[in-house]
Structure 1
């Protein structure tokens, strides 16, 4: 009887351990290289047609994001980076620069994986803090805060239970009023598309 009990207990422990190992780790940490391609449009106020020709330069930056999986399909992703510097151009001529810090929080749905590939879509909110604005030798400024929507689509390729490769595309709404002499002269629509490639680790 004792031998049977010990055997049953050992079997239950082995089954529980195998199930625990089979469960997905809830956290996913990714590092990406992200190319930022701004829309660079603006809406002139008061008939200032020159504002239509304002553009924001593109660039490639490092990015880190962390996701938490509430279920195997539903996750929340927080995108982090450090303040990024962008050049501002008028008719192709540089007229200044600014820095922005754009953390983004998204809710994602991950589809069933197939042959190691697992696509996902996401919808979230972006907050951008604009700082160190230098436009027209200080004659113009930008609004410091921007709130907007963020949409994304991506795909993970699972190398093993921990490691994966990632491709990701986001569209983020970032807009700021332009001030000249204390008056609002235009609204710049940065609205970048972000193309990312990187690697992820589950833990």
Structure 2
């Protein structure tokens, strides 16, 4: 399914002007905000992780709107039961947001975005036998900074919220939704073509 989405996306963007693209590379802290109680006294949660998170953004001409696709290397979360590691789950987090960029005369351009995200399970180990894919809402807020002497490059910081609760099946057959709902903090470099 991921290959089909990538193919359709590439076919769609191939008809667009390359002059309105921005590429971003950054490092992110993936910070889960929820935990899951699977039984009295048994709380499961995912740990915080660091990841390399490039993204591509298409800017719709002179309008304040753009669309951004967040990519990442596979992210590996340790799964903790009462703060003890019992499993590891790897996943890919493709996220698409439609953004509104608040353009002004300063070198800072704040932006907000809304869209959708996915949890594409990559691998699992430990007591986790199977992890399902999940889809949810995504929100984004951030700022681009372009120095006065910069022609095409800049730096950015943003925070994204992703609503994700993949279903996990343990080796003993127990099933539960692992509430992750992470906030992703990203600092990086941008280059506009």
TM-score class, shorter-chain normalisation, is 0.7 to 0.9
Counterparts of 1:36 and 1:155 in 2: how far apart (Å)? 18
Of residues 155, 158, 169, the one that matches 1:168 is 158
C-alpha RMSD over aligned residues? 1.7
Counterparts of 1:187 and 1:85 in 2: how far apart (Å)? 17
Say if 1:184 and 1:114 are closer, same or farther in 2 by CA, change over 3 A: farther
Q: Please say if residues 43 and 187 of structure 1, whose CA atoms lie closer than 8 Å, have aligned partners that are also in contact.
A: no
Q: Which has the larger radius of gyration?
A: 1
Secondary structure of the structure 2 residue equivalent to 1:201: strand
Secondary structure of the structure 2 residue equivalent to 1:189: coil
Q: Please say if residues 170 and 194 of structure 1, whose CA atoms lie closer than 8 Å, have aligned partners that are also in contact.
A: yes
Higher helix share goes to which structure?
Answer: 1
Matches within 5 A, 1:54-203: 54-72=44-62, 73-136=64-127, 140-159=128-147, 160-180=150-170, 183=173, 185-203=175-193
Say if 1:34 and 1:89 are closer, same or farther in 2 by CA, change over 3 A: same
Stretches of structure 1 lacking an aligned partner (at least 5 in a row): 1-24
Counterparts of 2:24 and 2:191 in 1: how far apart (Å)? 6
Q: Does 1:41 align with 2:35?
A: yes
Cα displacement string for residues 127-158 of structure 1 (whole angstroms, at most 9, x for unaligned residues): 1111321132xxx4343201011000010011
Stretches of structure 2 lacking an aligned partner (at least 5 in a row): 1-18
